Amino acid sequence: MATTQPAAFPDGFLWGASTAAHQVEGNNVASDFWQAENDGSWGLADRSGDACDSFHRWPEDLDIARDLGLNAYRFSIEWARVVPAPGHPSPAMLAHYRRMIEGCEERGLTPVVTLHHFTNPAWLTAEGGWTSDGAIAHFAEYVRAVLPILDGVRWVCTINEPNMVAFMAARRKQGLGDGSPFLSPPDPGVTAALVRAHAQARELLAAVPGVRSGWTVANQNVQDHGAGPDRTAEVSYLIDDQYLDVAKGDDFVGVQAYSRLRVGESGIVLPGPDDRRTMTGWEYYPAALEDAIRHTAARLGASTPLLVTENGIATSDDDERIAYTGEAVTGLARALADGIDVRGYLHWSLLDNYEWGSWEPTFGLVAVDRTTFRRTVKPSARWFGQLVRDPAATLGGPAAS
């Protein structure tokens, strides 16, 4: 890459951090994930429990984001809280999430709202989940209930990482744990249902003035390591590109990238003993973000804006978090300088939180004591705030390679 322009970001660029309701709120008792944590049916190591108690402490979390100098905050509305029983949306829960939206606005934070972030109401899962006869209608009912509280919201993610939702569904049907990504293909029936649900949500959200809507894709950065271009393209389509293609014509697509997936002659090449890894076992690969941005832009064309809705690293070494994020954002700057339309960067995650079955991986800019819930801002968070204020100086000058 020959770009030598400095790390300049456009006016209005969103700099923020992300969370997800089940991972931070605590006591999401009406959800299928809570049920699985407590009955052992999914073989999860840990329970979410009180999580980070952000259901009550969200104003403190927003204060931290504001004080760091961020201008955006991504969070999710929890379907299981809003519709604890089919046909009976909760006005109290809708008011709670409306207060969060207003809390963002009062602090100068652009709210980026996700409608579905992995968890379903337990009653939907009991009916058969996404492939049940009533799933799309139930999701539409939920979206209709949420529409009135979205006044003033400009960014809405309909479904988070549909490729991961379909992959997890496939694994659970086989009686397997979450395991390493994409050692089995995403469930096609769940994929079809999610596409329909996304289309329904997009249609409903179009009635809210000013809303931009799209879904987010977990870009795996599929690379050819001996498989050949045809086989590599097949794998990329199966786990990434079919979901990106759905976003054509959307208001934006959320890019989410952490590492890469190498495809060899015999299939997926897992990280080996000589590969640097993160706490999740993923390969340490900060170039993932730039790769994902360029791949998504090439797949969708210039008419679909991109928003980086997740990027980060699971590490107990905060210096490593700074190094990884700095390299990732430098790659983003190169993509911007080459004319790719990226509207913002939202770091995963604001808080160390419950990582879908385990408390061990720490992605957060802020540590959380799980007994007192005291928040401790890490040096990486201070560094990120400096990056927001002066990207060129913080990244060390020209974003070039």
Which are the catalytic amino acids?
161
Question: What residues does 255 pair with on adjacent strands?
Answer: 217, 308
According to DSSP, the β-strands at 72-76 and 14-18 are parallel
Q: How far apart are CA 75 and CA 109, in angstroms?
A: 12
Beta strands 375-377 and 366-368 are antiparallel
**Residue 332 near residue 345 (C-beta atoms within 8 A):** yes
Residue 135 has which token pair?
A: 């799933």
14 closest CA partner among 93, 108, 98: 108
Quickly list H helices, 212-317: 229-236, 242-246, 288-300
Q: Which of 334, 328, 338, 347 is nearest to 302 (CA)?
A: 338
Euclidean distance between CA atoms 113 and 344, whole angstroms? 14
In single-letter form, the type of residue at position 104 comes to C
Measure CA of the first residue to CA of the last residue in the chain; give whole Å.
6
Angle at 343 between CA 144 and CA 60, to 5 degrees: 65
The helix (run of H) or strand (run of E) holding residue 144 is helix 135-146
Buried b vs exposed e over 94-122: b needs ≥16 C-beta within 10 Å? bebbbebbebbeebebbbbbbbbbbbbbb
